[in-house]
Amino acid sequence: MPHATDNRPTALLAMGPGIADRLLADRHRTRLAALTRTDPALVAHDLADPTPEVAAALAEAEVLFTCWGATPLTAEVLAAAPRLRAVVHAAGSVKHHITEACWERGITVTSAAGANALPVAEFTLAAILFAGKRILRSADRYRELRADHDWLAELDGTGNYRRTVGIVGASRIGRRVIELLCPFDLDVLLYDPYVDGAEAARLGVRLTSLDELCASSSVVSVHAPQLPETHHLIGAAQLAAMAPGTTLINTARGSLIDEDALLPELTAGRLQAVLDVTDPELPPADSPLYTLPNVLLTPHVAGSLGDELHRMADQALDELERFAAGLPFADPVHSGSLSHSA
């Protein structure tokens, strides 16, 4: 039992199987133990049907330290956590597990979405610059030819000088992509209904309609949240407006693009695509997305993985330190913002 003068908050780790071992290095576990009263070895995988050990820890927990695979915090789960005051999420979106019952209870929430945005933006920057150089096409042709060739002639009109890049959505990731594009000689367009002209000017972009962005950009990169109103945001009309050779990048959610409309454009070779997410998340085994030479298909790896998970853990522990000191979160999640964010 902790000493009576130990005022550290009681914490419980709650996330999917295997996640804690990837998320937390030894230094994170040491820091977690110093900031809270917790058992870093105890990880709750199912708060809705807990083991006796987890149920006892949940009943005492003042803060949940969550990550991917966390149990939705329904009213029933919260009833078993009478002392719970905060959720610190060491990942991006909290929509999977933070419910209306959490807001009604007055639980404060923070997430490491800012930390998770960085690798996605870096992936996107690489994809944009590679798209401008037609890397997919030239690599495929080089593999095919295996001989001297007039690459200057074949790749005439490519490059990353004074090209136009369209960013769909000034989300955390979209804004970070815009920042990363600043050093390059690129013109950046933005579509986001929540951004006005003054803010666009501060970001250094030109605000446009979605249709104008699609028609004017050599690369279109999607960073909008998954909402009912963004379902198939990029549809047949937007795809048809894109010039031949345009590259479409999606690191957001697969449902934002109408893939039934996209596939014919890709099969015909009119457009290029870098797709880190699809709808469904795992394409069928016979999907042409796996084999088309003008498509770079990756298995949802743009976000944090490997040692990048430690960045999210660092941010989450920074927030936990603020909570333990009685300070407000530096990056809180507000219920009202979830209606137009990831």
Largest CA distance in the chain: 78
Q: Which two tokens stand for residue 140?
A: 């495929």
The CA angle 87-88-92, to the nearest 5 degrees, is: 115
Nearest-CA neighbor of 309 among 15, 9, 11, 12? 15
Nearest-CA neighbor of 119 among 312, 329, 256? 312
* DSSP letters for 229-282: GGTTSB-HHHHHHSPTT-EEEE-S-GGGB-HHHHHHHHHTTSSEEEES--SSSS
Choosing from 76, 179, 229, 281, which is the catalytic residue? 281
Active site residue 281: yes
Q: Helix 309-324 and helix 26-35: axis angle, to 10°?
A: 10
Q: How far apart are CA 148 and CA 125, in angstroms?
A: 30
Nearest-CA neighbor of 47 among 17, 68, 73? 73
Q: Which two tokens stand for residue 132?
A: 């401008």
Active site residue 300: yes
Choosing from 232, 300, 311, 322, which is the catalytic residue? 300
Q: How far apart are CA 22 and CA 14, in angstroms?
A: 14
Long-range contacts of 102-109 (CB under 8 A, 24+ apart): 102/73, 102/78, 103/335, 105/78, 107/73, 107/78, 108/323, 108/328, 108/329, 108/332, 109/329, 109/332, 109/333
Choosing from 137, 163, 176, 253, which is the catalytic residue? 253
Nearest-CA neighbor of 341 among 114, 189, 115? 114
Active site residue 265: no
Nearest-CA neighbor of 197 among 209, 187, 185? 209
- Residue pair 165/217 in contact (Cβ under 8 Å)? The answer is yes
Query: Which residues belong to the active site?
Result: 253, 281, 300
